[in-house]
């Protein structure tokens, strides 16, 4: 019943926290855009950050050295239950969502997994990450 209710909740389908990274329609769109731009190379469940992706992380203020020092994998895929497609997980997925919060692009709804992007945040996703409107 809980999953069914979540599938009908538009805000939860649009953008939500999955553990500590972005999922939902926007999470899948970010992953697809990063692949399309050449920032990520994905083959099956293997995901690798490219030189272009490293430059993007630098531009966004994401400290890759500290992420790579963690025991956690840098890049992983997560299967999105609402879209049945992959989103970006791992240390980079978590850092990217944390950066969206820190930059004021998005906020997490109190007592919820829902993530709400501001109009400026959605514009930044389009302009900086190539996410379609």
Residues of 83-115 as b/e, b for ≥16 C-beta within 10 angstroms?
A: beebbbbbbbbbbbbeebeeeebbeeeeeebbb
∠ CA 122-103-98, rounded to 5°: 95
Q: Name the DSSP class of 85.
A: S
Q: Output the pTM of the full model.
A: 0.92
- 2-45 pLDDT tens trace: 444 455 689 999 999 999 999 999 999 999 999 999 999 998 77
- 114-132 pLDDT tens trace: 999 999 999 999 999 999 9
**CB-based burial label for 60 (10 Å; 0-12, 13-18, 19+):** middle
What pLDDT score was predicted for residue 6? 53
What pLDDT score was predicted for residue 43? 87
Helix (H) or strand (E) holding 122, with range, is: helix 119-129
């Amino acid at each position: 019943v809980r999953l069914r209710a979540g599938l009908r909740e538009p805000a939860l389908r649009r953008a939500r926290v999955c553990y500590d990274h972005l999922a939902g329609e926007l999470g899948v769109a970010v992953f697809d855009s990063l692949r399309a731009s050449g920032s990520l190379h994905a083959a099956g469940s293997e995901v690798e950050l490219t030189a272009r992706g490293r430059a993007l992380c630098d531009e966004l203020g994401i400290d890759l050295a500290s992420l790579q020092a963690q025991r956690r994998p840098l890049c992983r895929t997560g299967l999105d239950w609402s879209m049945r497609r992959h989103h970006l997980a791992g240390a980079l997925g978590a850092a990217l969502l944390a950066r969206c919060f820190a930059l004021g692009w998005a906020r997490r709804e109190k007592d919820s997994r829902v993530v709400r992007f501001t109009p400026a945040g959605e514009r930044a996703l389009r302009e900086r990450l190539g996410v379609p409107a």
